[in-house]
Amino acid sequence: MNEIKFACPHCGQHIACDEGYCGYQIACPACEGAMIAPKLAAFGYGAPSKLSLALPVATPVPRASAAPGIARNWQARSKADPVRQALREEKIPDLVLGFLRTVVIVILAFAGAAVIALGILFAGCAISSRL
């Protein structure tokens, strides 16, 4: 593959990458700024008469800013969540929460025991196949 060389539009760092990255968004290894790797046509590989010694510059990727309403909307939705509201108001009895916690622990214990049993089984099969 051909190697292309260009400069970061943010910090001017010289970057070299394979032509497979042409047209894809990459991060500068120095400043971590986002940019699009330039296409091979920018380097004049297709037409040798148009070769230039000038170093092509990658185009910076425009940054989108988050709308301020998104954060407020998220907070409103989290306050309207019935499960969070019930937990906040302690409508769920401690007995139910304790029972659920116990069920989860038992399920995890059985899953761990199953993993250990399968490991012993497969280790025994591997040892017996060598004999």
Q: In which band, very low, low, confident or very high, does the pLDDT at 16 lie, cut at 50, 70 and 90?
A: confident
pLDDT at 92: 61
Q: What angle do CA 124, 127, 130 make, to 5 degrees?
A: 150
Q: Which residue reads 């148009």 in tokens? A: 50
Q: Average pLDDT, stretch 72-86? A: 62
Domain ranges for the chain, please list them.
Answer: 3-60, 68-130
At 21 the pLDDT is 82
Question: Could you give the C-alpha distances from 126 to 85, 114, 118, in angstroms and in order?
Answer: 53, 18, 12
Tens-place pLDDT, residues 20-68: 888 888 888 888 888 888 876 655 555 455 555 555 566 666 666 655 5
pLDDT tens-digit readout, 101-126: 999 999 999 999 999 999 888 888 77
Contact 13, 5 (CB under 8 A): no
Say what the pLDDT of residue 113 is.
96
The strand pair at 59-60 and 34-36 is best described as antiparallel
Percent of the chain with pLDDT over 70: 56
Token look-up 């108001």 returns: 89
